[in-house]
Amino acid sequence: MIIAVLGPKGSYTEKAAIKWLAENSSEDNYSIEYCNDIQDVFSSLTSGSVDVGITPVENSIEGSVGVTLDMLLESELSIIGETVVTIEHCLLSKGKKEDIRIILSHPQGLAQCRQFLKDHFKDAELRTTGSTSHAARLATEFSEMAAIASRESAQMYDLNILIPNIQDREQNHTRFLIMTKPGDMSECKRHPCKTSIIVYLDRDRPGALYEILGEFASRNINLSRIESRPSKRALGDYVFYIDFEGHISDEIIKDAIYNIESKVGMLKVLGSYPMYGQIE
Amino acid sequence: MIIAVLGPKGSYTEKAAIKWLAENSSEDNYSIEYCNDIQDVFSSLTSGSVDVGITPVENSIEGSVGVTLDMLLESELSIIGETVVTIEHCLLSKGKKEDIRIILSHPQGLAQCRQFLKDHFKDAELRTTGSTSHAARLATEFSEMAAIASRESAQMYDLNILIPNIQDREQNHTRFLIMTKPGDMSECKRHPCKTSIIVYLDRDRPGALYEILGEFASRNINLSRIESRPSKRALGDYVFYIDFEGHISDEIIKDAIYNIESKVGMLKVLGSYPMYGQIE
């Protein structure tokens, strides 16, 4: 099994991969492919060069990872699992705190530490990278550079932890999706499951979202998440990403989906997969 | 009247300010204060050093501007208007296309041109700035730097337009909010109006969102937008930003709000203001 994650070594996505393998599989025979960015994880998966792709989908401070949501709409794949990783961003450098002029991280890393950066490094130049571990690797080049990345990255790239735990809220978790090429969505061996769909509502139909949610409510199906993304057709036009409890092979879920399909412009089922336990 | 926008001169927010003034006011006696970033626009407004603050809230390609949504929750202010600006990002530099090694823009600018950057400048270093016009001003320093910014910024900072219209979709619009310190929300002189609220649902109450939307649907109140943001308390815990047609002083809206308040953990009214015409 080849698993695509954000690279290089030491990314939070790699951590998610190892965590998910430990939680879900007795698979020992795997190799990791390190990708430059989230789009490349999706490309590797759809081109067939890897078996499994893992990307972040939402963070408890900064919210949705837009590029992952967009690629879920554009790509043909199935979500087969999810996992949650505790994020503890540190400021890493080979230099000293007073030398830092340039700070590098993934855009989500920068955003999760927005207030910290404003308070302590107001004049620093901010650079974005494809992953936090890539930022750490680049920070080895000059002592005026620092990366926002994990504690493990410090060790891996021989950097000093100038300041630990720098995100704007102490609690910081990221949820990752585990994806494969589209497969048969047969019954889940592990319970409880959740199902993820994308719907595009008919925008000239007021109350359409309410009607859709009604199909879930009337069947006592719990929604765990609803998120809008631009349809990219026009401002104010959205697609909705909905996660709910239950498996696509359950009669009640099939029935809900059947009824929703008749009410929307587009419905895409992304997959049914074991739910990760609720994080407090 | 002092109006805070993203600076320096030539930002899309400044364009929004001028457009909104032309559309809504006979006010000729105003001055512009240029802020470093979105947070500073909010600080200037809440500290009382300016009368009006303007920031972007959503874009038709990249979606919500997270920091604006977060600041709307944290700050005490009223939304008094909105306007929409057509975005035409260009690649600006004083150098030549083949010299470009560094590309600067606001994180939204970089994200709106994600595919373009991947296709044409895969190895360029990406730097984030507080605004697109700030990126343009910085790009005047070295010919190996380019900014993603407006056509007007090219003229203002004497840069060449290396490539025009580089965003990933041709249609690109950003909606901006016009805000003041909290005021009386008396009746709007101009119609139609919309109202913006934030609600925090009781997470242990399944179907809560459906119930809230029902309060609007049963009164035939049209929703124009619903957006979730992390509550930042825990992963999977959200606040919802809801925009709907009608003014807070309308009896039917007052009644809906009254009923919603009894069902949610928190409800904050951000303001009622004239709706910008629908953009196609």
Q: Per residue in A177-195, pLDDT tens?
A: 999 998 766 667 677 899 9
Residue B188 located in a structural domain: no
B94 plus B81 within the same structural domain: no
Mean pLDDT along residues B143-168: 97
Residue pairs spanning A and B at CB distance below 8 A: 141
A82 plus A95 within the same structural domain: no
Residue B118 located in a structural domain: yes
Neighbour tally for A13: CB within 10 Å: 26
What is the total count of domains within chain A?
3
B112 plus B137 within the same structural domain: yes
Tell me how far the alpha carbon of residue B104 is from its chain's centroid: 20
Q: Which domain holds residue A66?
A: 2-87+173-180
Which chain A residues touch B175 with a CB distance below 8 Å? 235-236
Chain B contact present for A173, CB below 8 A: yes
The overall average pLDDT reported for chain A is: 93
B65 plus B112 within the same structural domain: no
pLDDT above 70 covers a percentage of chain A that reads: 95
Q: What pLDDT does B279 receive?
A: 40
Q: Is the pLDDT of residue A61 over 50?
A: yes
Q: Where are the beta strands (DSSP E) in B60-192?
A: 63-64, 78-86, 90-93, 102-105, 125-128, 145-149, 160-163, 173-180
Q: What pLDDT does A204 receive?
A: 66
CB A160 within 8 A of CB A77: no
Report H helices in chain A: 12-24, 38-47, 66-74, 107-112, 114-120, 132-139, 151-156, 208-217, 251-261
Residue A129 located in a structural domain: yes
Q: Which amino acid is located at B53 in the chain? A: G
A77 plus A25 within the same structural domain: yes
A151 plus A199 within the same structural domain: no
- Judged by CB atoms closer than 8 Å, whether chains meet at B62 and A62 is answered as no
Mean pLDDT along residues B144-173: 97
Q: Is the pLDDT of residue B102 over 90?
A: yes
Which amino acids of B are annotated catalytic?
Answer: 174, 176
Q: Is the pLDDT of residue B278 over 70?
A: no
pLDDT bin (cut points 50, 70, 90) of residue A23 is confident
pLDDT above 90 covers a percentage of chain A that reads: 89
What's the pTM? 0.95
A80 plus A100 within the same structural domain: no
Asked which of A153, A180, A207 is the last residue of a domain, the reply is A180
Q: Is the pLDDT of residue B30 over 80?
A: yes
The DSSP bridge partners found for residue B2 are B31
* Selected residue with higher pLDDT from B74 and A188: B74
**β-strand A193-200 against A266-274: which pairing, if any?**
antiparallel
pLDDT above 90 covers a percentage of chain B that reads: 89
B125-144 core/surface letters (b: 16 or more CB in 10 A; e: else): bbbbbbbbbbbbbbbeeeeb
B52 plus B99 within the same structural domain: no
Residues B36-68: pLDDT tens digits? Answer: 999 999 999 999 999 999 999 999 999 999 999
Q: What pLDDT does B280 receive?
A: 36
CA distances A178 to A3, A83, A200, Å, are 9, 8, 24
Q: Is the pLDDT of residue A45 over 70?
A: yes
Residue A174 annotated in active site: yes
ipTM of the complex: 0.94
Mean pLDDT along residues A228-233: 94
pLDDT bin (cut points 50, 70, 90) of residue A279 is very low
A98 plus A81 within the same structural domain: no
- CATH number, domain containing residue B60: 3.40.190.10
Mean pLDDT along residues A234-244: 95
Which chain A residues touch B84 with a CB distance below 8 Å? 235
Chain B contact present for A59, CB below 8 A: yes
B107 plus B119 within the same structural domain: yes
Half-sphere exposure of B69 (CA within 13 A, CB side): 25
Both tokens assigned to B181: 């310190």
Mean pLDDT along residues B217-244: 94
Facing B228 at nearest CB: one of A114, A174, A227: A227
Chain B contact present for A218, CB below 8 A: no
Q: Is the pLDDT of residue B77 over 80?
A: yes
Q: What pLDDT does B267 receive?
A: 97
Residue A168 located in a structural domain: no
Q: Catalytic pick from A176, A216, A240, A244?
A: A176
For residue A279, the distance in angstroms to the closest alpha carbon of chain B comes to 6
A220 plus A248 within the same structural domain: yes
- CATH number, domain containing residue B215: 3.30.70.260
Mean pLDDT along residues B130-144: 97
Report DSSP letters for B202-242, one per residue: -TTSTTHHHHHHHHHHTTTPPEEEEEEEE-SSSTT-EEEEE
Report DSSP letters for B23-50, one per residue: HH------EEEEESSHHHHHHHHHHTS-
Facing A236 at nearest CB: one of B169, B232, B279: B279
Q: What pLDDT does A257 receive?
A: 98
Residue A280 located in a structural domain: no
A216 plus A238 within the same structural domain: yes
Phi/psi-derived region of residue B229, left when phi > 0, alpha when psi is between -120 and 50, beta in every other case: beta
Residue B280 located in a structural domain: no
Residue A186 located in a structural domain: no
Mean pLDDT along residues A218-222: 95
Asked which of B180, B215, B234 is the last residue of a domain, the reply is B180
Q: Is the pLDDT of residue A280 over 50?
A: no
Residue B186 located in a structural domain: no
Q: Is the pLDDT of residue A169 over 60?
A: yes
Q: Catalytic pick from A46, A55, A174, A195?
A: A174
- Judged by CB atoms closer than 8 Å, whether chains meet at A61 and B222 is answered as no
Q: What pLDDT does A196 receive?
A: 98
